[in-house]
Amino acid sequence: MEPLIITVAPVGAEITPEQTPHLATTPLKLGEVAAACRQAGASIIHVHCRNDDGTNTHEVERFAQAYEAIRSSSDLIVQFSTGGAIGMTPQERSAVLQLRPEMATLTCGTVNFGDEVFENSFPIMRGILEKMHQYGVRPELEIFDKGHLSNARRLQRERLLEFPQHIDFVLGVPGGLDATVPNLCDLVGDLPSGCTWSVAGIGRMQLPMAMAAIAMGGHVRVGLEDNIFYSKGRLATNEELVARVARIAAELGRPVATPSQARATLGLAQEKTAGAVN
Ligand code: KMH
Ligand code: ZN
């Protein structure tokens, strides 16, 4: 099996500083988290930004500062969120693509999100994809529900998307598909040929989904965006969550990928960056 690509999603848009002291609210802190997670075995960082007070922001300037901080402290693959936070406009969510990150997420359909709705209509998806093409940004397709794969195939028929792609299954969002092994197997069996995939289990399903992905030959996303606990009642740091997956993967005979190996697996250009560990 290929080396394991671990994506760390350290911030997200849902958790608050009141819930955990480990939320990186500034670009400087995000740079520190990136370095620690790189040491622990991560090769991709999925980026959301906050203001100093912990509120959400998708301002281009803040993302530029975060990008610089991450780049000066690590050689991680930088993947921006275009999902943002519920209530942000598609324009706000996608403006950060002008910074030309190596990758960015594209959620492939609308989904209930707790009591709210995470809106990704076809016009919204097309608009984001067009900007990705304009700025040369590689998408990671975020799949919260089975129908999202059908939507991705429709975008392919419209010639806005080519397969194979890298896919991230986000399972266990209240309103999306449950994080179960049968659901994961079903999704993987439905992938267009040649796609690589990772899974992000929400809450206490983060670790079981990661274990299943390691065994199945997939890749893993962990981090406080999806789960703030290491174990019941014990708050986690991002690097602890990454290190645990790397440790278990090693026991199962899957070493973790360096960012350079992950770039090769995903077909991304190799970058010369500061802060490389090896
Ligand atoms: N915060 C969620 C509403 C993404 O980053 O692309 C959307 C999200 C997906 O986190
Ligand atoms: Zn996200």
Q: 104 CA distance to ligand 2 centroid (A)?
A: 10
Atom of ligand 1 lying closest to residue 142 CA: 6
If you measure from the C-alpha of residue 46 to the centroid of ligand 2, how many angstroms do you get, rounded to a whole number?
7
Is pLDDT at 274 greater than 70 in this prediction? no
For residues 167-199, one letter each, b for 16 or more C-beta atoms within 10 angstroms of the residue's C-beta and e for the rest, the string is bbbbbbbeebbebbeebbeebbeebeeeebbbb
Measured in degrees and rounded to the nearest 5, phi and psi for residue 97 equal -65, -25
Query: Which residue's CA is minimally distant from atom 8 of ligand 1?
Result: 83
Which residue's CA is the closest to the ligand 1 atom numbered 9?
83
Query: What residues contact residue 276 under an 8 Å CB cut-off, 6+ apart?
Result: 74, 75, 259
Which atom of ligand 1 approaches the CA of 106 most closely? 6
122, two tokens: 């076809």
CA 47, 50, 56, 60: dihedral to nearest 10 degrees?
-70
Tens digits of residue pLDDT in 139-195: 999 999 999 999 999 999 999 999 999 999 999 999 999 999 999 999 999 999 999
Q: Which atom, in ligand 1's list, is nearest to the CA of 107?
A: 6
The protein residue with its alpha carbon nearest to ligand 1, atom 4, reads: 83
Whole-number Å distance between alpha carbons of 146 and 195: 16
Pocket test for ligand 1, best of 49, 80, 88, 118 (most atoms within 8 A of CB): 118
Residues with CB under 6 A from ligand 1: 12-13, 81-83, 85-86, 105, 107, 113, 118, 142
Q: Which amino acid does the sequence have at 123?
A: P
Classify residue 161 as exposed, middle or buried by CB count within 10 Å of its CB (0-12, 13-18, 19+): buried
The stretch 220-247 carries a mean pLDDT of 98
Report pLDDT digits (tens) over 20-54.
999 999 999 999 999 999 999 999 999 999 999 99
If you measure from the C-alpha of residue 17 to the centroid of ligand 2, how many angstroms do you get, rounded to a whole number? 17
- CA neighbor of 206 nearest in space, from 240, 182, 174, 229: 229
pLDDT interval class at 272 (50, 70, 90): low
pLDDT of residue 276: 43
C-alpha 216/C-alpha 134 separation (Å) is 35
Residue with tokens 């990150």: 101
Residue 85: CB partners within 8 Å, gap ≥ 6? 13, 14, 48, 56, 58
Given ligand 1 and candidates 81, 108, 113, 137, which is best to mutate, with the most ligand atoms within 8 Å of its CB? Answer: 81
- Distances in whole angstroms, Cα of residue 143 to Cα of each of 151, 213, 247: 10, 15, 27
CA of 9 to the centre of ligand 2 (A): 7
Q: Which ligand is nearest to the CA of 87?
A: 1
The residues facing 16 across adjacent strands are none
Distance (angstroms) between ligand 1 centre and the Cα of 81 equals 6
**pLDDT tens digit string along 239-267?**
999 999 999 999 999 999 999 999 999 99
pLDDT for 273 equals: 52
Give the pLDDT band of residue 278 (cuts 50, 70, 90): very low
